């Protein structure tokens, strides 16, 4: 029997902090289910959601600024425990009749917090009256609202944590969710387990069990189609649906000829042979390359690839017949109506996703991962028995190697890039970098340079290496790989890949550059 993992829920109200999603992830790490909603969510919606506790996130504003986000006083009348973090605490204090003041001395970074009350939030801290916490604020609370007492202070904040025990409302000036507050998780657990009385029953096992029940209830005996790319998200969607409905799931894998070395074979082996999924493999290399012939404009490449994909996918769906649902790997960060700054990335390149498909094809959507963060998707994949190579895959753009070959795409240029990319992937996987970075890949440039190999003058291609660190792909920084590793990559590529006589390293961050070159 499946457990109702959604009975014990926490609501995180987003006041615009860059850490809001991190708060939600930490709560889930404590095995309590939680969701993020914008600060101005309507009260009835909160009541319907029926959380056992509410967390008010931080935010970049000052409570006195004109555009300061605020929510209704009524949430304090719901008789639900509340924890305000940073701006969340200042806003709460201000709203409930306390006084917040701008200060010439803010607190940014690591600070010592001195605990004055070892119950509730700080229960279990008696052995450590002063702890390291991460602060990031200019304003501070000067007078507490009626009914509140101060429970901790720091050098620059005489009131750094507050509580109103009777109404179970708490506030902390620091960020318990960040790694720089080493005992932050204990504070969150005190709030979740002892104050909100939540049970830690949000586990991946229970999530999968629940999802399977839900999927079966919804789909009944209908057919579902899923575009499988071999990336983490679509792979986990496919594995989950396959476990729930078996052969009612039809996966379509389109080999567009723009994939990495051995990628198509790997996907066929894992899903076709190991999982014995109903996998339709479409070899469309020729039709894609034909349509891309002579095309050098990056946006045009993306549009051609997107359209061709949709055309082939629709055709396949028609051939299969009687399909009612389209499965998609939408994740929780795509669903959150966040008030946080999202970055301009989405509008800079037309991303080739299957987003336009459901309306066009008149299919109902099924998105079984829409409650999960990326790291949770990986755990789900692991529970569902997917191999590590798939679970730990780096993101790979829909238009594939087409946007990593600058200039015209030909079979010969694809083969050069594929070989170079395979070396990068193999060498980086051997190091600890692979699991720590966002992406590492090769790019084929549209220039030739002079070199000398043996006694011969060469005039060959240049490969650029792109290795970046990022949290979500919205911003990124280049990775300072050790010279020795860079040297090994360059050596191997120049020696082993015919047609390359020079390797360069891309040291641009995003912004102003983007991660992919096109």
Q: How buried is residue 300: exposed, middle or buried, by Cβ count under 10 Å (0-12/13-18/19+)?
A: exposed
Let me know: does 19 contact 175? Beta carbons within 8 Å. yes
For ligand XMP, the binding residue among 94, 211, 397, 414 (CB under 6 A) is 397
Is residue 329 involved in binding ligand XMP (CB under 6 A)? no
Asked if 210 interacts with ligand XMP (CB under 6 A), we say: no
Measured distance CA(371)–CA(336) in Å, rounded: 10
* Backbone torsions φ then ψ of 381, nearest 5 degrees: -60, -40
Name which of 181 and 439 has its Cβ closer to ligand XMP: 439
Does 58 bind ligand XMP (CB under 6 A)? Our answer is no
- Shortest separation between residue 20's beta carbon and ligand XMP, angstroms: 21
303 interacts with ligand XMP by CB under 6 A: no
Residue 137: active-site member: no
Q: Burial of 160 by CB count in 10 Å (0-12 exposed, 13-18 middle, 19+ buried)?
A: buried
Q: What is the closest distance, in whole angstroms, from the C-beta atom of residue 349 to ligand XMP in the complex? A: 5
Lookup: tokens for 236: 């986990």
d(CA 132, CA 117): 16
- Smallest gap from Cβ 399 to ligand XMP, in A, equals 5
Residue 230 makes contact with ligand XMP by CB under 6 A? no
Q: Which of 2, 206, 345, 415 is close enough to bind ligand XMP by CB under 6 A?
A: 345
Selected binder of ligand XMP within 180, 268, 349, 374 (CB under 6 A):
349
Q: Does 393 bind ligand XMP (CB under 6 A)?
A: no
Q: Cβ(154)–Cβ(169) under 8 Å? A: no
User: Site residues for ligand XMP, window 483-512 (CB under 6 A)?
Assistant: 510
Q: How many residues does the chain have?
A: 518
For ligand XMP, which stretch binds (CB under 6 A), given 44-52, 218-226, 307-315, 396-404? 396-404
First to last CA, the chain: 49
Residue 516 is a binding residue for ligand XMP (CB under 6 A) = yes
Rg of the chain (C-alpha set): 26
Residue 94 a catalytic site member: no
Is 196 noted as a catalytic residue in this protein? no
Residue 94 sits in the site that holds ligand XMP (CB under 6 A): no
Q: Which is nearer to ligand XMP, 202 or 309 (CB)?
A: 309
Q: What is the 3-class SS of 456-515, one letter each residue?
A: EEEEEEEEEEEEEECCCCCCEEECCCCHHHHHHHHHHHHHHCCCEEEEEECCCCECCCCC
Looking at 175, 196, 427, 518, which residue is catalytic? 175
Task: State which of positions 419-448 bind ligand XMP (CB under 6 A).
Answer: 439
Nearer to ligand XMP, 103 or 470 (CB): 470
Question: Of these residues, 71, 86, 196, 226, which one is catalytic?
Answer: 86
**Nearest residue (CB) to ligand XMP, 35 versus 518:** 518
- Among candidate residues 8, 35, 107, 177, the one labeled active-site is 177
CB of 262 to ligand XMP, least distance (A): 19
Closest CA to 59 of 36, 33, 26: 36
- Closest residue by Cα to residue 260 from 350, 390, 449, 446: 390
Q: DSSP 3-state assignment of 146? A: coil
Cβ(350)–Cβ(390) below 8 Å: no
List contacts with ligand XMP (CB under 6 A): 345, 349, 351-353, 395, 397-399, 439, 473, 510, 514-516
Q: Which residues are catalytic?
A: 86, 175, 177
């Amino acid at each position: 029997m499946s457990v109702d993992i959604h009975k014990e829920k926490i609501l995180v109200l987003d006041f615009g902090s860059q850490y809001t999603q991190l708060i939600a992830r930490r709560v889930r790490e404590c095995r309590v289910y939680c969701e993020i909603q914008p600060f101005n969510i309507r009260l009835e919606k909160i009541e319907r959601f029926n959380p056992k506790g509410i967390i008010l996130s931080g935010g970049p504003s000052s409570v006195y600024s004109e555009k300061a986000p605020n929510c209704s006083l009524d949430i304090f009348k719901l008789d639900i425990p509340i924890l305000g973090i940073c701006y969340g605490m200042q806003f709460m204090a201000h709203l409930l009749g306390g006084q917040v003041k701008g200060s010439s001395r803010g607190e940014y970074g690591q600070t010592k917090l001195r605990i004055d009350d070892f119950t509730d939030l700080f229960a279990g801290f008696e052995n450590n009256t002063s702890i390291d916490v991460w602060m990031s604020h200019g304003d501070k609370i000067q007078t507490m609202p009626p009914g509140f007492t101060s429970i901790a202070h720091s050098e620059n904040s005489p009131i750094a944590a507050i509580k109103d025990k009777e109404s179970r409302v708490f506030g902390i000036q620091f960020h318990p969710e960040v790694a720089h507050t080493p005992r932050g998780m204990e504070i969150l657990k005190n709030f979740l387990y002892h104050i909100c009385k939540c049970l830690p029953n949000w586990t991946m096992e229970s999530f999968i069990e629940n999802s399977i029940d839900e999927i079966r209830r919804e789909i009944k005996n209908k057919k579902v189609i899923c575009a499988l790319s071999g990336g983490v998200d679509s792979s986990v969607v496919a594995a989950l649906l396959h476990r729930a409905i078996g052969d009612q799931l039809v996966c379509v894998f389109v080999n567009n000829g723009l994939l990495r070395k051995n990628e198509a074979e790997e996907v066929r082996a894992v899903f076709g042979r190991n999982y014995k999924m109903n996998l339709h493999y479409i070899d469309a290399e020729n039709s894609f390359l034909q349509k891309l012939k002579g095309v050098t404009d990056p946006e045009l490449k993306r549009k051609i690839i997107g359209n061709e994909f949709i055309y082939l996918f629709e055709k396949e769906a028609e051939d299969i017949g009687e399909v009612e649902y389209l499965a998609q790997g939408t994740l929780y960060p795509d669903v959150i109506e966040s008030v946080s700054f999202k970055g301009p990335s989405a509008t800079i390149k037309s991303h080739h996703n299957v987003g336009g498909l459901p309306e066009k094809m008149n299919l109902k959507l099924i998105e079984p991962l829409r409650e999960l963060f990326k790291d949770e998707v990986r755990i789900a994949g692991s529970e569902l028995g997917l191999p590590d190579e798939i679970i730990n895959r780096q993101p790979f753009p829909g238009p594939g190697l087409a946007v990593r070959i600058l200039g015209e795409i030909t079979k010969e240029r694809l083969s050069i890039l594929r070989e170079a990319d395979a070396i990068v992937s193999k060498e980086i996987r051997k190091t600890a970098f692979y699991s720590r970075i966002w992406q590492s890949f090769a790019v084929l440039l549209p220039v030739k340079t002079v070199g000398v190999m043996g006694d011969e003058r060469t005039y060959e291609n240049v490969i650029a290496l792109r290795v970046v660190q990022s949290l979500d792909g919205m911003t990124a920084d280049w990775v300072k790989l050790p010279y020795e590793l860079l040297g090994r990559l360059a050596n191997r590529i120049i020696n082993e890949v015919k047609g390359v006589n020079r390797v360069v390293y891309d040291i641009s961050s995003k912004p102003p550059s983007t991660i992919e070159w096109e």
